[in-house]
Structure 1
Amino acid sequence: MHPLLRMTVQRLAFGLLTLFAISLFIFLAIELLPGDLTEEILGQSATPETVAAFRRELGLDQPAHLRYLDWLGGALTGDFGTSLANGREIGELLAARFGNTLFLAAYAAAISVPLALFLGLLAALYRGSWFDRFVNVATLSSISFPEYFVAYILLLFLSVKWGLFPSIADFGSGADLGTMLYRTFLPALTLVLVVTAHMMRMTRAAIINLLAQPYIEMARLKGASPARVILRHALPNALSPIINVVALNLAYLITGVVIVEVVFVFPGLGQLMVDSVAKRDIPVVQAACLIFAGIYILLNLAADLLAIATNPRLMHGK
């Protein structure tokens, strides 16, 4: 078996084991949530007999380990069951919301990845200049602020005061691409400001770290321009750490959008998970968390494989 294929199989097996551990942690964490779905639906005036009958109907009277095994078996076959709050198939609920989350993540990635690479290359090319210092201060400031703070600042100025963009990102059904891009610009911009800083700083650091290598010095002695030294000689060897940080930030764009979706009332998977927690709709919360975890594991695996493809020396232990 090819070493890369063998490593891929090993990483997939380890990823499945990790996903199993995460599923157990998710179930235990949700079990510890206060409140009860039956009391949430029936109200405080419901009698204990009515609550007990409703719990039997929903299967909540079974022991926790039996409910976990039943849920895990359904998840392995792609059947997440039905929502306890509204009786709809969880797969249908997740499909539309997950598509919206992917659209928002792709929108932000299409802006942030090229922008981060461009700024990182310029900062490395003009290291120590006013541009480099300005970009470093701006990115450090962006990293320091939490997402909800950035989101509310953008809402205050771009929506409330200036009225350039809507404060609610829900574009409804049947909207064209232009309307979708316009109504989701503020949440996408929030994500761009958060993730661009990490990717830009890693790009800059990876390039500058290679500029001290002997082959870079030889290229300079041959009369190569600074731009050619960076783009032709340094960048190809810096792709491995850059790809890793880009893949990790893409994973964040999909799995870390919960706060942004809640702030802008965006109908994505994160908003669905928050609503389900409020309603004590346990199967929906478990399914959403499991999908987030699976995507994060897959993108980490893709980052490792792409890094090895650009630098085969990483396959060896020494």
Structure 2
Amino acid sequence: MARFIIRRLLLSLITLGILLIIVTLIPNIAPGDPARKIAGGTASPERLAAVTESLGLNDSVPTQLGKLAKSVFTLDFDESFSVAAGEPVMSLVWTALGNSAKLVLFSLAIVIPLSVLGGLVAAYKKDTWIDRTIVNTGLAFSSIPEFVAGVLLLAFLAVPIDFFKVQGNAPDGSSILTQFQHLLLPAVAVLMVYFGYIARITRAGTITALESDYARTAFMRGLTTRDVFRKHIARNALQPTVAVVGTQLGYLFGGMVGLEIVFQYPGLGSLIIRAIDRADYPVLRAGVLTVAIIYMLATLAADLVIAWMNPRARLALGEE
């Protein structure tokens, strides 16, 4: 197990290194003058020189790469140029990350149980109307883009029902009920997008496990369905589900831009879009790298959980 963990960590570090190179090159290969975009068309030569120096564009690419790597390990990306001029970049990232984490965790607390339950029920009721209803409903929901799902929820639930809050994040110090009111509709939109995908993965894994030789043997020994599932099926059936959830975490943190815009939610995705729109490269670099690190850690955690659930999976994951 230790060998497997070390191998996965090394692969993650290699991935991070490649991403650092790409992020370093962004202002160097972007069309136009990055300093001019930040400082404005009427900026003085002194202001342009100061911005260019702050961006490190006077340095060679290897030097820029070294400084960016140092920023990652020290969590110091200097100050924002235009998103929130003068504010420390990491202060903006931490605030947005906290908001995203709150929405992601709340959404997963709804999505995972309902999706897994739907997949399990569909598997046990294979080829019945219940199975077809769950699968087809999931397919219909997953074909709707997330921002469209958000708009539909606003139109059919938020407008006629005053209970739902749709204007950004809940104020600091708000009650649990107020927090719930702000998070519920975005979480339901995430459920609509992911229910079908996760339910189908769970269904397929459960059917494969139920039709396996070890499951048939367990039933022949007189074990109840509950005991068979708990002792023999759960670990194997849910491994694909764990992998899917792990690989989607990075997207949930940085890719729900459509939902964040629809619900005016100040998450990490919205921060990255604002940084792109205003050519704020320090904020852009910090935001992109934060999402990438979350994705790598979530994928690593999913691989470790799968390896714990089934040691034979370590072979497929690259231990030997």
Q: TM-score, normalised by structure 2?
A: 0.88
Q: Distance in 2 between matches of 1:164 and 1:105?
A: 21
Q: Please name the residue that 1:140 is paired with.
A: 139
Judging changes above 3 Å, is the alpha-carbon distance between structure 1 residues 269 and 36 closer, same or farther for their aligned structure 2 residues?
A: farther
Give 1:141 shift. Answer: 1.4
Q: Distance in 2 between matches of 1:233 and 1:62?
A: 61
Structure 2 matches for 1:199-278, cutoff 5 A? 199-222=198-221, 229-278=228-277
Q: Please name the residue that 1:169 is paired with.
A: 168
Q: Distance in 1 between matches of 2:157 and 2:54?
A: 46
Match of 2:79 among 74, 78, 82: 82
Q: Distance in 1 between matches of 2:105 and 2:248?
A: 12
Q: Distance in 2 between matches of 1:41 and 1:21?
A: 26
Match of 2:7 among 5, 10, 17: 10
Q: Distance in 1 between matches of 2:32 and 2:279?
A: 7
Deviations 1:160-202 (A, max 9, x none): 3444423323223232322112112111211122222222111
Give 1:114 shift. Answer: 1.0
Deviations 1:216-255 (A, max 9, x none): 2234445555555445532233232232123223343223
Judging changes above 3 Å, is the alpha-carbon distance between structure 1 residues 187 and 69 closer, same or farther for their aligned structure 2 residues?
A: same
Q: Please name the residue that 1:116 is paired with.
A: 115
SS of 2:164 mapped into structure 1: coil
Match of 2:51 among 50, 55, 61: 55
Structure 2 matches for 1:13-92, cutoff 5 A? 13-34=10-31, 36=33, 38-40=35-37, 42-46=39-43, 49=45, 52-56=48-52, 58-59=54-55, 61-63=57-59, 65=61, 66-85=63-82, 86-92=85-91
Q: Please name the residue that 2:294 is paired with.
A: 295
Gaps of 5+ in 2: none
Deviations 1:91-129 (A, max 9, x none): 111111111110000000111111111111111111111
Q: Distance in 2 between matches of 1:71 and 1:223?
A: 61
**Counterpart residue identity of residue 126, structure 1:** K
Deviations 1:272-305 (A, max 9, x none): 1111111110010110100100110111111111
Deviations 1:50-105 (A, max 9, x none): 56344345345514614343222222222122112202111111111111110000
Aligned residues: 314
Stretch of structure 1 that moved more, 71-80 or 115-124: 71-80
Is contact 2:27–2:34 with CA below 8 Å preserved after alignment?
A: no
Gaps of 5+ in 1: none
Q: Does 1:283 align with 2:282?
A: yes
Q: Distance in 1 between matches of 2:67 and 2:221?
A: 68
Q: Distance in 2 between matches of 1:253 and 1:74?
A: 24
Q: Distance in 2 between matches of 1:58 and 1:218?
A: 68
Superposed CA RMSD in Å reads 2.4
Q: Distance in 2 between matches of 1:236 and 1:160?
A: 43
SS of 1:312 mapped into structure 2: coil
Is contact 1:35–1:280 with CA below 8 Å preserved after alignment?
A: no
Is contact 1:42–1:51 with CA below 8 Å preserved after alignment?
A: yes
Is contact 1:170–1:183 with CA below 8 Å preserved after alignment?
A: yes
Q: Distance in 1 between matches of 2:57 and 2:238?
A: 54
Is contact 1:94–1:269 with CA below 8 Å preserved after alignment?
A: yes
Judging changes above 3 Å, is the alpha-carbon distance between structure 1 residues 56 and 277 closer, same or farther for their aligned structure 2 residues?
A: closer
Is contact 2:253–2:269 with CA below 8 Å preserved after alignment?
A: no
Is contact 1:37–1:279 with CA below 8 Å preserved after alignment?
A: no
Q: TM-score, normalised by structure 1?
A: 0.89
**Counterpart residue identity of residue 137, structure 1:** N
SS of 1:184 mapped into structure 2: helix
Q: Distance in 1 between matches of 2:69 and 2:184?
A: 37
Q: Distance in 2 between matches of 1:64 and 1:163?
A: 56
Q: Distance in 1 between matches of 2:112 and 2:183?
A: 18
Stretch of structure 1 that moved more, 232-241 or 262-271: 232-241
Q: Distance in 2 between matches of 1:245 and 1:83?
A: 35
Q: Distance in 1 between matches of 2:5 and 2:287?
A: 26
Q: Distance in 1 between matches of 2:6 and 2:57?
A: 40
